[in-house]
Amino acid sequence: MLPNIMKNYRKQKKLIVILIFASILLSCQSEKKVSEKQDYLRWVGDIEQNDKIDQLDFKACHGDDEILQYFNLGEGPIYSGEKSAILNIFKSRYIPLADKEQNGLIRIRFFVNCKGKAGRFRIFQSDYNYQEIKFDNRIVTQLADITKSIENWKVLYRREVPVDYYMYLIFKITNGQLTEILP
Amino acid sequence: MKILNLILVLFSFSSVLALPNCEAFKYYGDTLKYEACKKAMEINGHYQFSKEYQTILDESLKIDPTFDYAYWAKSIAYLKSGDFVTWKKLIDKAVEYNPKEYLGYRGWCRYQFFRDYKGTIADIEKLDSLVDYDIGQSQNGTYHLNIAKGLCYKAIGQKEKAITIIENQIKLNEYENFVGKYDYLHLGVLYLETGEFENAIKMFKKQSHTNELAENQYYSALAFLSLDKLTEYKSCLKKAKELYVGGKKMHDTYSNPMDKIYLDNIENEIKTAYNN
């Protein structure tokens, strides 16, 4: 009788130990899963080089980890030739698409390097309720091509050293017409 | 005016001023929010855009998914990077859990970053309907929220309504000796655009006394031109250019303010003035 009881006790003990190990393992895995979900880059909005779509010879002068945001320099959004130059470029080159279905915001984000050249353009689109949509490609392509064709962006300085910085343009589209450019 | 500008600059970094008091949650027995709050306070010293900052707030929200402050704090970097979809999802959560605290903020950001005029009006009017106290200033301190609302009405074509709203708010601001740095200018431009040239000039003169700007002289010139006062028109344009070159012009860290002008505008007007 006693040997049987001892045998069962050992079995139960073994089972408990296995369960404890299993629960520890599972908790580790679930923690790992949660941390894996937080797939942040250095900063929100950072753009990694993608050799398939980005120019290979376009680089940040001080390395990707030193790219700032346009507003970090405290000068506000500034452009070569001021914003009026940007407005004139799009006004003269964007051909509106008469389509009542084309409404919302298109953002093109990129970075400007210390030489005033821009690259790594990324496009983001939403309707006026901030829900992601896809605009007619003829609108998006035009805006992207015009943005990429701008040869000189403002060189910004920090302590007299020209820096690399992220910039974006937001285009407001109403019925296929370009109504505003921000910021 | 320098003191006012200093106050406004301090306001522009006012996320610090909006830190929640974690002990208050404890005092009222909300231990979950207290823990979430304590976790969220670990963001101090981290940049809003950094993964450390975002990760801490994720952990805070894991403790209490209804902690409005953490959603708000997370949303800022998305707003400033132009990711309006993620920003809106996060700030909507903050508004859902604490509308009185964040409706005015969301409304202002919709205007400042996205020129979402109707959305701004809806948020500010909703806030006004929920509270019986003053709805306060924009996040950067530049405007009373009612002035921002007035500018949005102007942008959607309701200029008379915009004038009424801004006139009323300026009266209150004058009473409290807290007129915004562009208030008179915006009202003057509205008068100019609706053909009230004498009133426009009165407002521009007030703006000159509180915060002289290139824009103020530029629009003064246009008002004088409409009244056929060509000497004043030319003189104002000259002053506008001097002020602009000297850096006395409208400014916002993140966007270009409404009624802002550029050197091109002044120079083109000068050419017109001297060619006729």
Could you read off the pLDDT of A131-165 as tens digits, one per residue?
999 999 999 999 999 999 999 999 999 999 999 99
Q: What is the pLDDT of residue A23?
A: 44
Q: Do B263 and A82 touch (CB under 8 A)?
A: yes
Q: Do B62 and A34 touch (CB under 8 A)?
A: yes
Residue A3 belongs to what domain range?
A: 1-39
Cα B112–B175–B192 angle (5° rounding)? 55
Cα B34–B136–B162 angle (5° rounding)? 140
Q: What is the pLDDT of residue A35?
A: 38
Give the whole-number percent of chain B exceeding pLDDT 70: 93
Q: Do A76 and B49 touch (CB under 8 A)?
A: no
Residues B211 and B22: their CA atoms lie apart, in Å, by 40
CA-wise closest residue to B180 among B224, B149, B219: B149
Which homologous superfamily is B181-275 in? Answer: Tetratricopeptide repeat domain (1.25.40.10)
Q: What is the pLDDT of residue B275?
A: 85
Name the B residues in 137-166 with CB < 8 Å from any A CB: none
**Residues 6 or more apart in contact with residue B217 via CB below 8 angstroms:** B204, B236, B237, B239, B240, B243
Residues B194 and B192: their CA atoms lie apart, in Å, by 5
In a domain, residue A69? The reply is yes
Q: What is the mean pLDDT of residues A22-37?
A: 41
Same domain, A108 and A168: yes
Is B15 within 8 Å of chain A by CB?
A: no
Same domain, A78 and A12: no
Is A59 within 8 Å of chain B by CB?
A: no
Give the whole-number percent of chain A exceeding pLDDT 90: 76
Residues B41 and B57: their CA atoms lie apart, in Å, by 9
Q: How far away is chain A from the Cα of B48, in angstroms, using its nearest Cα? A: 8
Same domain, A68 and A117: yes
Q: Do B85 and A41 touch (CB under 8 A)?
A: no
Domain pair B15-130 / B181-275, same fold: yes
Residues A30 and A40: their CA atoms lie apart, in Å, by 19
Same domain, A35 and A69: no
Mutate to test the interface with B, among A35, A47, A130 (most CBs of B within 10 A): A130
- How many residue pairs bridge chain A and chain B with CB atoms within 8 Å of each other? 93
pTM across the whole model: 0.87
Q: Find chain A residues with C-beta within 8 A of B114's C-beta.
A: 105, 170, 172, 182
Architecture of domain B15-130: Alpha Horseshoe (1.25)
Q: What are the extents of the domains in chain B?
A: 15-130, 181-275
Q: How far away is chain A from the Cα of B71, in angstroms, using its nearest Cα? A: 15
Strand partners, B137: B144
Same domain, A104 and A172: yes
- How many domains is chain A partitioned into structurally? 2
